[in-house]
C-alpha cells in the first residue's frame, strides 16, 4: 500500500506519543481525568471527542468555555481509543485520532500539531509555499448545509492530516471546498490547491441513489465518492510537487493511487464502494443517452474506471472479495489478472512515494 493505512480511524503514532502517562492495561468503562494543555498560540473554541470505533462526535466538551492559548482544560473520559476534534475561531477543524486513554492523562496541544493538522488559525487560504494542509469549506450560497455537513464529518481533514503525517512535501497543499458552477474537482499547480466543487457532490448523490438505499447508505456513498475523487486529485498534486514520473495516462495512475490507498480497511473500502457506485451511475447515464461518450477525454470511461477500481479491490484480497467476481461483477477473465495488477500498481506507487515518506 502506498500510503500507510489511510482511513478515518488512524493511529497517529507521533500524536499518541504526546500523551503523558503509562498505560497500565485495559480498564474498559473506567473513567479517567484527562487534561488538555493548550501550549499553542491558538484558542480552541470547540472540542469534540468520539470513540475511535464510532465517529460519533457528541456535544462540545467545552460548553461555553474557550480553551485559550496557554490554558488547560480538565474533563473526564472513559478508558479507550478516542479521536479529538479541535475547532478554532475561524472554524478550522483539526482531528487527532487514536489517542489512548487508559489512566489519568495529559495531552499537549502545540502549534506544530495544529498547523500540520489542518492549518488551524490561518485566516484564509494562503499562497503556495506557506506549508501545512489547510482544508477550507467555503460557505458558498446555496451550499451552506452541504459545507457544514462535510466539514462536521471531519473525514477530509483526517485525510489531509494523514497525508502530512505520512509524506514530506516541499510545500503545503491547500484544499478548498467551494461552488464552481459545475460538477468537478481539480488540482491547480500554480496555487498548489485542490478544489472540490460542491456541485460534484450533488452529482454523486444523483449517481449513487437507488430506491433500495436508506439515507445513511446514500450519504456514505456520497462521502466515499468524494474521498475517492479527493485522493485522485491528491495524486495529481503529488505527481506535480514530487515531480514523479508517469508513463501512460496520469488519470488512470491517480485512480489507482486512490483505490490502493483505500483498500485493506473496512470503512475505507466502504468509501471505495461508494466511488464504484458513482462510476456505475454515471455509466448508466451514458447508456440511457443522457451523456455522450467522451472518447476524446483524458479519463478512461466511467465503466472502465469502475472495473479498474473493482479489480484493485478484488486483487488486494481475492478471498475476502470473492463476491465481486461473477455475473454482475468482475468477469473471470479480468479477475484472474487482478492480484498481479494490484501488486504491480501498489509496488509502483510504493516505490514512487518511498523516498518521500517521513
Ligand atoms: Zn484527474
Q: What is the CATH number of the domain that holds 97?
A: 2.60.40.2190
Model confidence at 91: pLDDT above 80: no
Domain presence at residue 220? yes
Q: Are residues 243 and 338 in the same domain?
A: yes
Residue 193 confidence class, pLDDT cut points 50, 70, 90: very high
Domain presence at residue 279? yes
Domain presence at residue 189? no
CA distance 341 to 104: 48
Domain residue limits at 53: 13-114
Taking alpha carbons only, the member of 206, 201, 221 closest to residue 273 is: 221
Q: Count the domains in the chain.
A: 2
Q: Are residues 229 and 99 in the same domain?
A: no
Lowest average pLDDT, out of 50-54, 65-69, 205-209, 279-283, goes to 50-54
Q: What is the pLDDT of residues 8-56, one digit of tens each?
A: 322 222 222 222 222 333 333 577 888 888 888 888 888 878 776 665 6
Q: Are residues 255 and 348 in the same domain?
A: yes
Domain presence at residue 346? yes
Domain presence at residue 66? yes
Burial class (CB in 10 A: 0-12, 13-18, 19+), 215: exposed
Q: Are residues 110 and 204 in the same domain?
A: no
Domain presence at residue 29? yes
Ligand 1 midpoint to CA 211 (Å) = 30
Domain presence at residue 284? yes
Ligand 1 midpoint to CA 31 (Å) = 48
Q: What is the pLDDT of residues 148-182, one digit of tens each?
A: 999 999 999 999 988 888 998 888 899 999 999 99
Ligand 1 midpoint to CA 235 (Å) = 8
Q: Are residues 93 and 234 in the same domain?
A: no
What is the reported pTM?
A: 0.66
CB 75 within 8 A of CB 61: yes
Burial class (CB in 10 A: 0-12, 13-18, 19+), 74: exposed
Ligand 1 midpoint to CA 77 (Å) = 43
Q: Are residues 203 and 349 in the same domain?
A: yes
- Last-in-domain residue among 98, 114, 130: 114
Ligand 1 midpoint to CA 35 (Å) = 44
CB 256 within 8 A of CB 248: no
Domain presence at residue 168? no
CA distance 127 to 219: 33
Amino acid at each position: 500500500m502506498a500510503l500507510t493505512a489511510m482511513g478515518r480511524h488512524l493511529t497517529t503514532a507521533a500524536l499518541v506519543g504526546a500523551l503523558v502517562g503509562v498505560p497500565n492495561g485495559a480498564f474498559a468503562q473506567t473513567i479517567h481525568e484527562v487534561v488538555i494543555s493548550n501550549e499553542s498560540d491558538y484558542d480552541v473554541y470547540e472540542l469534540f471527542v468520539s470513540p475511535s470505533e464510532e465517529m460519533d462526535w457528541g456535544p462540545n466538551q467545552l460548553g461555553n468555555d474557550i480553551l485559550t492559548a496557554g490554558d488547560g482544560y480538565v474533563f473526564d473520559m472513559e478508558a479507550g481509543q478516542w479521536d479529538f476534534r479541535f475547532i478554532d475561531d475561524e472554524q478550522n477543524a483539526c482531528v487527532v485520532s487514536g489517542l489512548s486513554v487508559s489512566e489519568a492523562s495529559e495531552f499537549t496541544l502545540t502549534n506544530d500539531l495544529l498547523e500540520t493538522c489542518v492549518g488551524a488559525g490561518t485566516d484564509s487560504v494562503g499562497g503556495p509555499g506557506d506549508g501545512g494542509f489547510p482544508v477550507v469549506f467555503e460557505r458558498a450560497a446555496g451550499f451552506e448545509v452541504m459545507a457544514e455537513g462535510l466539514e462536521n464529518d471531519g473525514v477530509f481533514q483526517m485525510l489531509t492530516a494523514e497525508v502530512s503525517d505520512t509524506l514530506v512535501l516541499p510545500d503545503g497543499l491547500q484544499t478548498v471546498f467551494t461552488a464552481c458552477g459545475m460538477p468537478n474537482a481539480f488540482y491547480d499547480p500554480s496555487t498548489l490547491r485542490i478544489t472540490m466543487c460542491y456541485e460534484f457532490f450533488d452529482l454523486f448523490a444523483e449517481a449513487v441513489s437507488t430506491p433500495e438505499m436508506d439515507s445513511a447508505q446514500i450519504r456514505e456513498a456520497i462521502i466515499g465518492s468524494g474521498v475517492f475523487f479527493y485522493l485522485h486529485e491528491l495524486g495529481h498534486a503529488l505527481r506535480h510537487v514530487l515531480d514523479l514520473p508517469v508513463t501512460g495516462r496520469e488519470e488512470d495512475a491517480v485512480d489507482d493511487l486512490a483505490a490502493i490507498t483505500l483498500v485493506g480497511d473496512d470503512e475505507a473500502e466502504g468509501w471505495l464502494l461508494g466511488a464504484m457506485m458513482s462510476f456505475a451511475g454515471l455509466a448508466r447515464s451514458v447508456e440511457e443517452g443522457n451523456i455522450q461518450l467522451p472518447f476524446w477525454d483524458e479519463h478512461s470511461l466511467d465503466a472502465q474506471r469502475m472495473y479498474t477500481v473493482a479489480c484493485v479491490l478484488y486483487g488486494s484480497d481475492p478471498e475476502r472479495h470473492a463476491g465481486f467476481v461473477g455475473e454482475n461483477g468482475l468477469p473471470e477473465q479480468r479477475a484472474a489478472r487482478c492480484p498481479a495488477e494490484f501488486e504491480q500498481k501498489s509496488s509502483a506507487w510504493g516505490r514512487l512515494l518511498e523516498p518521500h515518506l517521513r
